[in-house]
A and B are shown apart, each in its own frame.
Chain A
Amino acid sequence: MSGVQGSGVGPAVDEHAEKIDAYASARNSQIAGALRAFARRRSALVGLAVLLLIIAFTVITPFLWKYSYSDITVDFSAAPGWRHPFGTDSIGHDLFAQTLRGIATSLKVATLVALLSTVVGTVVGAVAGYFGRAWDAVLMRVADLIMTIPVLAITLVLANVLGAKGSSWFLLSLVLSAVLWIPLSRLVRGTLLSLMKNDYIDAARMLGASDRRIIIRHLLPNAAGPIIVDATLMVGRAIIVAASMEYLGLGIQAPEVSLGLLIQRGQGAATTQPWLFGFPALFLVLIILSVNFVGDGLRDALDPRRTV
């Protein structure tokens, strides 16, 4: 395509510059190709659109909507209607405002958890898988140890000790990340172990490449597929686990709301006032689905072997 092949008689400077251009444009076309591949997957595109729409909605609407999530209205246990599109609960909270607020806090927690646990899990898994021996033994036993600690008991204790200070979404994210990185680290470790059987790892070693270079340049990019998929699943997992923690008193507490808290509160009246539980649950499913679709799209778009 570049039109600059040939046997090369003397290093002409122009030719050289032209080649670098060709190289840069190949890079650009690579990014364009990745975008095209992402756009070709309809589910990924739809997922992205839904996700952006939900986020925009939660950001803009509070400024326009007549009720705030903490307002107590005069309508108790009203069914969805013109005044309250999602209905109200027994003390008069407008559920539309509450659901939007809940989406915002839940997304904040989920994003932070997904980010933190993916980074920690990837680093721990990579070190354990690549260096093996003592590293592997120690790190994986630490992971086992954390898994054996009953998370709910710890949560109860933490909620008790921290009291009001515990009602922060940041602390909740840290507690969740401390547990959720473990499955990912196992996944990364296993993926690396199988990737290391490839000859290109030995080839890099034969060139004298450092361990860091081999991990960052040769191993992790090839493990990106499973890592991305797991990170997107983590978003959904974080929202659900966060809900049970909130139920026990750690993390987001009233008057602050989250999707988990709303579902938790509404499920008791699921048969008599289904809207209390239905709308937050619907958005939870929507968010998890669209994040997973986006993850699938990303995984395929970042694979150079894709067929576009």
Chain B
Amino acid sequence: MTTSERAPDPLLEVRDLRVTFREGTDQQVEAVDGISFEVHPGEVLAIVGESGSGKSITAHSVLGLLPPLATVAGSIRLRRRTSGRPEELIGLSSGAMRRIRGAEVAMIFQEPSTALNPVYTIGWQIKEALRAHSRVSGRTARDMVVEILRRVGIPEPEKRVGYYPHQFSGGQRQRIVIAMALIQNPDLIIADEPTTALDVTVQAEILDLLRAHRDEAGTAIVLITHNMGVVADLADRMVVMYQGCVVETGPVSEVFEQPQHPYTRNLLAAVPRVGVQSAREPVAAPDRIAVEGRDVVIEYPAGFRRASFRAVNSVSFRIAAGEVLGLVGESGSGKTSLGRAVAGLNPISSGSLVALGQELKGISRGKLRSSRKDVGFVFQDPATSFNPRIRLFDCLAEPFIVNNSTERPQLRQAVNELFDLVHLPRSFAERFPHELSGGQRQRVGIARAIALRPSLIIADEPTSALDVSVQAQILTLFTELQDELNYACLFITHDLAVVDMLAHRTAVMRRGEIVEQGATREVLLHPQHEYTQQLIGSLPVPDPAVQRDRSSRRQAVTS
């Protein structure tokens, strides 16, 4: 379809694109403010930026997928397959737009669990993508679907075409979403954060798949991402967006090596890297133990037509007083179940788990409640961890009120101190949670956890929902507070680089078991277990040269 030599004129040319949203009756919000870029055939262009930068809106406007409240101005020209000439997409009728969608420009969505319809087989859904644009007989369609499934690496495609989405893993579902995009053999694929919802090892496979397709079919890819490692892995050129504007454009290697704009520099500096810090050494001879687990088993009981599920299988570990233990694992590894058990939010089925001198196995409700003031919990999602109906003052005063630890007149003082500790203005006390950004809310979440000066904090992926630069600030704050208040901490994360920054010791979990634990430096620099090595190998490094080298080596090993 596409020529192998690079055509002089671009496939997609965006000029001075402006997208404004009407908000309320008379307010206008500029989401995209006059940006220009182009995509050449066979090129991978990364659009990089943090949430709210307008990168997704830019991509959606190419396909005309914006909500009706949006107004688009400027020019988006696509070289059409039929005429070979560039044609304006803005203002195109919905019928004409539909002929382009899927056939010439296809989209890959972020969340594979919601991009597929649960009530149809995947074969039917891919066939639907095919039938939307071309008349094919049932027999040929089926053959094409099987063929495309084979190409995206679904094992036993002849059998699997009749399966439903829930019968696949998250990574496989994303492969199926990619198959739907590829079946029409489009000239351009827009991938909106295609690996954000996936684990690192799966992310690496999906990136390999996209790269292989580009190399074979010469399809151009617009890759929207916030992950610099992904950019380094796959992209040829990059566009850095900030608050609706393009602040920097250029070949990936150049931008990484010599970022011109201060925002790009900050963004690159904020990316945590493995094996760079490793400054925190474990406590040599701990005098007190904060948490000790022996053969901890956590089982979820069998329910209606559901077998019982063992989330954590005979795990032993220990956290010394004042020590941070990083608990690393992919989704479904049981790390969150273990963290919640330490907090007393989940019961343990067998074994022994002692937190702050209190055995948690079979503990009574009353005892559990009274022991809780010594344990703080920082939640993953700042959007759901605050009661939307109460002000932050009431939210931060609650720990004191519930435990009767502070007289009413002193509450204001206590809350102010908490705001100071997490570097937020005291005036935030009068605000509601939705009036804060995600990073600010996570600061309040930390403030709530440390309000009663607990000697143990459990942090469940507190930064995974945040942008990189915000994540860096939160981690710095966390380290600072830990130094100051010297609590023991179980820090749960899927990101090895985060562990590297703040954990004294690290434990790696897989399928309910701890496969490796030790001093963070040892685990990251000299991983013993094969799985840890695989994890570290899959982690994209924000350095194009290094990452290219790593991914080609990884492919050589896997193939």
CA distance A304 to B390 in the complex (A): 8
B residues with a Cβ closer than 8 A to A are 24, 343, 345, 369-370, 372-373, 375-377, 379-381, 384-391, 393, 398-399, 402-403, 412-413, 416-417, 420, 425-427, 429-430, 432, 434, 445, 448-449, 451-452
Report yes or no: B448 in contact with A4, Cβ–Cβ below 8 A: no
A residues 13-48 touching B (CB-CB < 8 Å): 16, 19-20, 22-23, 26
Whether the Cβ atoms of B373 and A16 lie closer than 8 Å is no
A248 to B388, CA, bound (A): 47
Cα A121 to Cα B399 in complex, Å, equals 30
- Residues from chain A with a CB closer than 8 A to the CB of B384 are 198-200
A-B contact pairs, 10 of them (CB 8 A): A1-B427, A8-B420, A16-B412, A20-B412, A23-B430, A199-B385, A206-B376, A218-B387, A304-B434, A305-B434
Asked if A23 and B398 make an inter-chain contact with CB atoms under 8 angstroms apart, the answer reads: no
B426 touches A6 (CB 8 A): yes
Q: Are B426 and A206 in contact (CB under 8 A)?
A: no
CB distance from B416 to the nearest CB of A (A): 6
Q: Is A203 a contact partner of B416 (Cβ separation < 8 A)?
A: no
A206 to B377, CA, bound (A): 7
B385 touches A208 (CB 8 A): no
Q: From B375, B379, B388, B430, give the contact of A26 (CB < 8 A).
A: B430
Question: A307 contacts which chain B residues (CB < 8 A)?
Answer: 24
Task: Say yes or no: is A254 at the interface (Cβ < 8 Å to chain B).
Answer: no
> Chain B residues near A53 (CB, 8 Å)?
none
> Could you tell me the distance in whole angstroms from the C-beta of A36 to the nearest C-beta in chain B?
14
A305 CA to B435 CA in the complex, in Å?
Answer: 9
Interface assignment of A272: CB less than 8 Å from any CB of chain B: no
Partner of A217, one of B390, B393, B445: B390
Chain A residue numbers with a CB within 8 Å of B387 are: 200, 204, 217-218, 221-222
Asked if A200 meets B386 with Cβ closer than 8 Å, knowing A206-B377, A213-B402, the reply is: yes
In the complex, the chain A residue whose C-beta lies closest to that of B445 is A203
List of B residues within 8 angstroms of A209 by Cβ: 398, 402
Distance of B360 from chain A, by nearest CB (Å): 14
Query: Does residue A205 face the partner (Cβ distance < 8 Å to B)?
Result: yes
- Measured between beta carbons, the chain A residues less than 8 angstroms from B448 are 203, 207
* B381 surroundings in chain A (CB, below 8 A): 199
B385, B403, B417, B426: the one contacting A203 at CB < 8 Å is: B385
Q: Check if B375 sits within 8 Å of A206, measured CB to CB.
A: yes
**B398, A204: Cβ atoms closer than 8 Å:** yes
Interchain CA distance A272-B203 in the complex, whole Å: 76
Chain B: which residue is nearest A3 at the CB level?
B427
Give min CB distance, B439 to chain A, whole Å: 17
* Least CB distance, B165 to chain A, in whole angstroms: 22
Give bound CA distance, A283 to B281, whole Å: 78
Bound complex: CA A203 to CA B373 (Å): 12
Minimum Cβ distance to chain A for residue B497 (Å): 24
Min C-beta distance of B321 to chain A, whole Å: 20
Contact B385 A198 (CB under 8 A): yes
B398 touches A202 (CB 8 A): no
